[in-house]
Chains A and B, each alone.
Chain A
């Protein structure tokens, strides 16, 4: 009797906890009711062949049951969900799934793919964009020029983006004109045409804050007119901007579109259910390409850890993902789930070792050159990130896989080659007055031991392995060197404060554009991140075959140049300066490891060498969206 009472008590306790967890912890789906009815009509009109799908997954799991018309990935989003793009966390994975840019730009082929825009025309400093006639928001309202003007104004006001756009004008409901203070070059076109920010603040929802945003945007443009000339903006302007921003933020940040059932999208998918562990999207009933789409639902599982993602890939629970994965584990995943394929397109970024030019030691080009020769960069690549493309000949900072497109053989013949050659490194040091002591350490011409650390952020395991290998090789060569691990939370701050000797960082990175300007702006540009870390004297002149050049100015010219041949020449000039004066040592071009499940629940992936894969870096979801909205990706079976 007594035992039975305890059992009943225990059962009651568990039931209460389940109820509590379910009801208190149950996530909200506030728009579910209204959206469902509309979406259901659309979905019901599509072929439903659920039972005909055959999974080839060898490991039967509870969750691998395929569903026709569904695509599953892993990603992140803020939770509790707010849906406000101007709040921390923004809108998470909905950024690429729910909002649409004017176009996509494919870095590997240079191809433009129209999306929200039907066409565009650039002439000097103006760009006219024609929106699709049938483009509509998910609530059925047409997407018009007024919406684009609203979006640009909010970006200029809050995120201080696109401030070189002086005016955005409505020509008609579906045509909008951008007038820039500078020429609209390829990098600028990419910035304007490929960002979903242009269609994420519908005027009929955000219009109530528009006048305040306009006022702030005007002030920010005025500030930009000073800073773009290298002048300091008057204090009253910057104070006014701060005050207006604070005022606008105060009211705008109280807005929670998801809770208030005002999360209206311009792109292919509308969030239907949002929980901490899973987010489910359904097709936007008013999306212009919905008739071509055979995938009607996207399920996104929380990317809580790489372990969780690997498990889901092996079990066939997700159709694609891109975790950096060791070789043996990659083999294991593909063995356990033969449907899983791997492709490794460029990640548009270099893993590099950067110098701290505030340290006099590294101001000596001889030492920098000796370090490059002393490094076996191929070996560092092999141990650190096996899927990467080693950079082991030059140090020009044009991404290795794009070098043939940008650098002529004539230019390459002028560049110094840096193969792994310790004899050459010794020769350079000796001729510069360095000596090697009886203790095996190199000494500077004034007799000091060449001693430094290689800093690395401790939370990137591949970086740590790479930094340790670099340390080991330089130590073996005769420098007194140690690896210095820093927590990720303080890494960037320490580097910018100059608290390092050598450090591991992304070198040239063409994220968001696929254009060399982005990479060189980062290294030599006035506000470039790497320049801010290294203090490389990019505002000084350097001897080149084109005469004395200032890299900062060449980068500026590159940002304004529209002629392809002249752009190529500017890129070659910057490549020369990078290679000969070594602001950093590129080690490898990172490749993104994309695992995709072909024939499990979906099929229709492009071939492994298709340039389309280069859409993936910095927003892989746009690549999936492209495949889904063109009908290329479809249910398997």
Chain B
């Protein structure tokens, strides 16, 4: 990898970042609805007051000024962004940076574990199914993958809550840790956090697992049919060596790209599962922000997601030549 390749990739990262944030900014601000109306509706129902009173209250409490033109907001947003400031939440009157910083560790915690679990298990099951294609194991894994891929994570979350939480009482019904615990680096707290994370991790893993199983199986099946695999068999290499070095490794390459991009997307992919498990992550904040048209918070969360996805892609592009010689030669 030469310096020119690196600079080219870096330049395209910034261009894509600017373009993606601009498009997102415009789309977010074109969304119908305004924060005052949304908050008024909330007040009306919670406090038992008339819409007129609720609207007055919402108008007085929000600093949001709907008359500021979109282009002024656009320049304010980028100006703040260059200073590392994501703005102030309309709904909470607090720094978006703080809100995200508070929520993101929880999401990273459950989403990264679920991602790693599903990746490792998916690669293992997919490659074994491909190696033993046509057998009962293959058809079970393939069929299982198809079924799981059609189950969205929020449906899995509901099923987990009902069966593992309500009926059998194996997992907690929600929250990040027991209400009577004080956060700290001690075994009791760590075990409690892990216990409360089981549900969200399982819900998030299932959907991804299916993708990795099917992706790995399909890649491996097509590689098995390549001449170099047949040639390795003719050379008398052991099956386990062929499976590991000649099939699994090249089949993994596209999945690594997908894993990296999933790492970027994990910040925003847990909205519904987090709502069902009352998990205090960024997905829950995103749902709240969207429902109340909290534009600065929505943009802040999008900024984090977009930057993470583009960074992940950049890292993959920079690492790829080291893994795949064909890219290096190009």
Q: Does B135 contact A (CB under 8 A)?
A: no
Inter-subunit contact B175/A301 (CB<8 Å): yes
Residues from chain B with Cβ under 8 Å of A489 in the complex: 31-33, 37-38, 291, 293
Contact flag A618-B174 (CB < 8 Å), given A59-B167, A511-B44: no
Least distance between B264 CB and chain A CB atoms (Å): 17
Inter-subunit contact B48/A619 (CB<8 Å): yes
- How large, as a class, is the contact surface on chain A? 35 or more
Inter-subunit contact B278/A22 (CB<8 Å): no
Inter-subunit contact B109/A308 (CB<8 Å): no
Contact flag A18-B190 (CB < 8 Å), given A87-B93, A511-B48: yes
Tell me which of A276-284, A366-374, A566-574 binds B. Answer: A276-284
Q: Which of B41, B91, B169, B176 contacts A315 (CB 8 A)?
A: B169
Inter-subunit contact B61/A301 (CB<8 Å): no
Question: Given the complex of chains A and B, what is the CA–CA distance between A299 and B276 in angstroms?
Answer: 18
Inter-subunit contact A59/B166 (CB<8 Å): yes
Residue of A with least CB distance to B160: A311
Q: Does B254 contact A (CB under 8 A)?
A: no
Residue of A with least CB distance to B31: A489
Residue numbers of A with Cβ under 8 A of B are 10, 14-15, 17-27, 29, 59-64, 76, 78-80, 82, 86-90, 92, 95, 158-161, 245, 249, 253, 273, 275-278, 280, 299, 301-302, 304-305, 307-308, 311-312, 314-315, 317, 336, 487-490, 492-493, 511-512, 518, 521-522, 527, 529, 617-619
Inter-subunit contact A308/B278 (CB<8 Å): yes
Question: Given the complex of chains A and B, what is the CA–CA distance between A488 and B38 in angstroms?
Answer: 9
Cβ < 8 Å to A, chain B residues 6-39: 31-35, 37-39
Residues from chain A with Cβ under 8 Å of B105 in the complex: 17, 20-21, 24-25
Residues from chain A with Cβ under 8 Å of B169 in the complex: 59-64, 315
Inter-subunit contact B161/A79 (CB<8 Å): no
Q: Does B230 contact A (CB under 8 A)?
A: no
Residues from chain A with Cβ under 8 Å of B32 in the complex: 487, 489-490, 493
Leading 3 A-B pairs by shortest Cβ distance: A618-B48, A489-B33, A26-B183
Contact flag A25-B103 (CB < 8 Å), given A273-B179, A277-B175, A304-B275: yes
Residue of B with least CB distance to A514: B48
Q: Which of A21, A78, A336, A489 has the most CB of B within 10 A?
A: A21
Residues from chain A with Cβ under 8 Å of B62 in the complex: 88
Question: Given the complex of chains A and B, what is the CA–CA distance between A306 and B50 in angstroms?
Answer: 24
Inter-subunit contact B158/A89 (CB<8 Å): no
Q: Which of A64, A160, A305 contacts B276 (CB 8 A)?
A: A305
Residue of A with least CB distance to B60: A158
Interface string of B144-188 (1 = CB under 8 A from A): 000000000000001001100111011111111101001111000
Q: Does B51 contact A (CB under 8 A)?
A: yes
Least distance between A350 CB and chain B CB atoms (Å): 15
Residue numbers of B with Cβ under 8 A of A are 31-35, 37-39, 41, 43-53, 56-58, 60-63, 90-94, 98-99, 101-106, 108-109, 112-113, 116, 158, 161-162, 165-167, 169-177, 179, 182-185, 189-190, 193-194, 274-280, 284, 291, 293
Main SS of the interface on chain B? helix
Question: Given the complex of chains A and B, what is the CA–CA distance between A17 and B197 in angstroms?
Answer: 12
Q: Which of B31, B106, B175, B293 contacts A25 (CB 8 A)?
A: B106
Inter-subunit contact B276/A308 (CB<8 Å): yes
Inter-subunit contact A87/B173 (CB<8 Å): no
Residues from chain B with Cβ under 8 Å of A249 in the complex: 60, 63
Inter-subunit contact A89/B92 (CB<8 Å): yes
Residue of B with least CB distance to A60: B169
Least distance between B74 CB and chain A CB atoms (Å): 21
Q: Which of A10, A301, A527, A619 contacts B52 (CB 8 A)?
A: A527
Contact flag A61-B183 (CB < 8 Å), given A95-B47, A159-B57: no
